[in-house]
Structure 1
Amino acid sequence: MKKINQVAVVGGTHGNEFSGIYLLRKWQKSPDLLAREGLNVETLFANPKGFEENKRYLDCDLNRQFTLEDLANPALANYEQSRAKVINAQLGPKGNAKSDFIIDLHNTTSNMGPTLILLKSDDFNKKMGAYVLAKMPEAIVVYEDQVSMEEHYFLASIAPQGVIVEIGPQPQSVIRQDVLDWMETMTQTILDFVALYNNNQLPELPASYDAYKYTESLTLPQDEDGERIGMVHKNVQDNDFKPLSKGAPIFTLFDGGEITYQGEYEAYPHFINEAAYYDNNLAMSLAEKITITLD
């Protein structure tokens, strides 16, 4: 892999996720805080109108607009679709990007703590996960490498390398100090890692570590008319990354009944009851626990 020189730190992809937005303001006033030898680090406020109107998005989710097909489609021209094309021109274009690496900053209402989402499982990303965990033992590493960067629709997939920093729990349109501090620490740690990786100066890392691999998403229970008939079970709520075995209750129905987990693998729920996902009726994501071994 060639050295990473051009780095973009992106905040405000969703206008009501405040930690990244206020950190960007801080870093724009004091760019030396992001400076690393050999790196050119720029910051980007992705969805300013969403922030102005205190909404996740105006027309559609900006963080789902970055497939090559959608970026090339001039008919997709609402606010977020247009912003995606502008951002792609600034940081990309995807497939031949000016940016080598993107860090996209997000908040979740779910009790996920400081979570690093990796979109690839190559040497660079595996070592990044190990380094972040060594510096932040409270962190969680999730791999969403089920498709290639070219196929991903996330903003961070514009560049050949990109990660999502996902920190919670934080309500929409709120700032929490613990959450903001975690986001700042993780971002600084990632930048430290990139500078060290470039120069073959990484410290000794553990030979292996535990991580999670996204498998599927579950929807809230509905009736035949599409009306919601239940909610996330209280035993699951706030228990992100706690194991869920077959037969365990996962949803409570409004009539008092329960739906149990019937998967054939031990699942680790996350993004549990994420407020932003209610428009898609999503209840949680599931992952399997995996062991990452460094080469």
Structure 2
Amino acid sequence: MSINQVAIVCGTHGNEITGVYLMKKWQKDNHPISRDSFKTELIHGNPKAFEINRRYVDNDLNRQFSSDKLADESLGSYEESRAKVLNQLIGPKGDSKSDLVIDLHTTTSNMGPTLLMPQSGTFYNLLAAYVKSNMPEAVIFCDEDHKPNDEHHLLCTTGRYGVIVEVGPVPQSVLRHDVFEQSERLTQIILDFVDLYNRNSLPDLPTQIEAFRFITSVTLPLDDNGERIGMVHQNVQDNDFSELHPGDPLFITFDGEVIPYQGEKTVYTAFVNEAAYYDNNLATSLMEKFNLQIK
């Protein structure tokens, strides 16, 4: 089935400003995001949070899009209400007018250009292979792609298909040249793929590619009162998508004690020391690396 309508959402988090300024650029000249075989719409996800230069006003907007939350009329905070508005504008979830939603994000973590896919299937596999072929430095991140779409809380899941463009490192509320360009390039590659997909003109693609799948998150070390007693070890800092072996340093306390990774198998890190996750004391996500089979 062809992709006829693409929605690009910018500024879902108010202090991730790269997408907002890409939106402003594309509003002046839409040539970089226009393709003949489908229509592209630009949407500002959370303008109020952008105005006050915060990630969100009341709640994280990108956690409000499970079907249960969207249907719950008792949820009426700014972001809970905004999610319902966006769902009607882009979706509605489960019967969406948008065939593809691309949600633009940045991270303070050293993840480079990352394509995050919350669902699995042939379309996603082909997209991942095309992205990897045209932007080898891009990372393919499968984020709980085993879950039914109804359970996913991400904005991009309001579309028939949905992906996140996640690029870093860049501080919150800061524009960084390389991250800006990587975000635009990755978005354009996705749009190029859609155009070729619609025309049944995809090039030969690899039969498998390297990808990462989310396993779990780990928290910063805390004492019995819930106070932080340490931080991410320097060996892990800035080493997203690198190996973490059992026994490797993971944290170091303020007293200088090294706390090793205590898992039973080698994993890979992502969202290392992401500033936005400090509210929940999250230190890093742990991933498995695998070969994504394309055909």
The answer to whether the superposition gives a TM-score over 0.5 is yes
Q: How far apart in 2 are the matches of 1:291 and 1:182?
A: 24
1:33 CA drift (Å): 2.1
1:111-137 Cα distance to aligned partner (Å, 9 max, x none): 000001011221111111111111111
User: Is residue 291 of structure 2 the alignment partner of residue 291 of structure 1?
Assistant: yes
1:228-255 Cα distance to aligned partner (Å, 9 max, x none): 1110001000000110000001010112
Task: Quote the sequence identity (%).
Answer: 54
Structure-1 residue corresponding to 2:93: 94
Give 3-state SS (helix, strand or coil) of 1:150's partner.
helix
Give 3-state SS (helix, strand or coil) of 2:238's partner.
coil
Structure-2 residue corresponding to 1:137: 136
Q: Which amino acid is 2:185 matched to?
A: T
| 8 Å Cα contact 1:265/1:288 also seen in 2 | no
Q: How far apart in 2 are the matches of 1:33 and 1:272?
A: 32
| 8 Å Cα contact 2:120/2:146 also seen in 1 | no
1:202-240 Cα distance to aligned partner (Å, 9 max, x none): 001111111101111111111111111110001000000
1:173 CA drift (Å): 0.4
Q: How far apart in 1 are the matches of 2:260 and 2:286?
A: 14
1:23 CA drift (Å): 0.3
User: Is residue 244 of structure 2 the alignment partner of residue 244 of structure 1?
Assistant: yes
Structure-1 residue corresponding to 2:187: 187
Q: Which amino acid is 1:40 matched to?
A: K
1:1-43 Cα distance to aligned partner (Å, 9 max, x none): x211111000100000011010011111112321112211101
Structure-2 residue corresponding to 1:85: 84
Structure-2 residue corresponding to 1:262: 262
TM-score, length-scaled by structure 2? 0.98
Query: Mapping of 1:221-236 within 5 angstroms?
Result: 221-236=221-236
Structure 2 residues without counterparts, runs of 5 or longer = none
Structure-2 residue corresponding to 1:157: 157
1:66-105 Cα distance to aligned partner (Å, 9 max, x none): 0111111111111111110100010011111111110000
1:152-202 Cα distance to aligned partner (Å, 9 max, x none): 100000012100000000000000010000000000000000111122100
Give 3-state SS (helix, strand or coil) of 1:102's partner.
strand
Q: How far apart in 2 are the matches of 1:72 and 1:135?
A: 39
Structure-2 residue corresponding to 1:48: 47
Structure-2 residue corresponding to 1:65: 64
TM-score, length-scaled by structure 1? 0.98
Tell me the C-alpha RMSD between the 2 structures. 0.8
Query: Mapping of 1:275-290 within 5 angstroms?
Result: 275-290=275-290
| 8 Å Cα contact 1:12/1:20 also seen in 2 | yes
Q: How far apart in 1 are the matches of 2:122 and 2:114?
A: 19
Give 3-state SS (helix, strand or coil) of 2:216's partner.
strand
Structure-2 residue corresponding to 1:170: 170
| 8 Å Cα contact 1:149/1:160 also seen in 2 | no
Q: How far apart in 2 are the matches of 1:80 and 1:293?
A: 37
Q: Which amino acid is 2:168 matched to?
A: G
| 8 Å Cα contact 1:101/1:160 also seen in 2 | yes
Give 3-state SS (helix, strand or coil) of 1:3's partner.
coil
1:45-84 Cα distance to aligned partner (Å, 9 max, x none): 0000111000000101000000111111111111111110
Q: How far apart in 2 are the matches of 1:186 and 1:35?
A: 14
Structure-2 residue corresponding to 1:208: 208
Aligned pair count reads 294
Q: How far apart in 1 are the matches of 2:37 and 2:173?
A: 35
Q: Which amino acid is 1:228 matched to?
A: R
Q: How far apart in 2 are the matches of 1:166 and 1:101?
A: 16
Structure 1 residues without counterparts, runs of 5 or longer = none
Greater Cα shift, 274-283 or 249-258: 249-258
1:258 CA drift (Å): 1.7
Structure-2 residue corresponding to 1:25: 24
Q: Which amino acid is 1:100 matched to?
A: D
